[in-house]
Amino acid sequence: MSLSCVSCGACEDACPTSIPVAQVFSLVGDKNQKEFDYVPGRSLNEPLPLRVYEEKEFEEVEQSYVETSAKQEAQDA
């Protein structure tokens, strides 16, 4: 979902309990789409990121999250 979200808001309009799901999907989607350098709908010829994803592609991103998480835990301790 996060790689395909175009922030149209249709899911939020349809939610029976008015949960702002479009805002959540849009926020997460924007970050994930930037990580993959992917814009949903930009080109029909562009492969979906998860179809061409390589296991080691995001090691630096994963390491960044690990370091950030460790810093946050140290601050919270």
Applying CB under 6 A, the residues found at the interface with ligand SF4 are 1, 5-11, 22, 25
Q: Which is nearer to ligand SF4, 8 or 70 (CB)?
A: 8
Q: Which is nearer to ligand SF4, 7 or 32 (CB)?
A: 7
CB of 76 to ligand SF4, least distance (A): 32
CB of 5 to ligand SF4, least distance (A): 3
What is the sign of the dihedral through the CA atoms of 53, 54, 57 and 61?
positive
| Most distant pair of Cα atoms in the chain: their distance | 49
Question: HEC states along 17-62?
Answer: CCCCHHHHHHHHHHHHHHHCCCCCCCCCCCCCHHHHCCCCCCHHHH
Q: Which is nearer to ligand SF4, 10 or 48 (CB)?
A: 10
CB of 11 to ligand SF4, least distance (A): 3
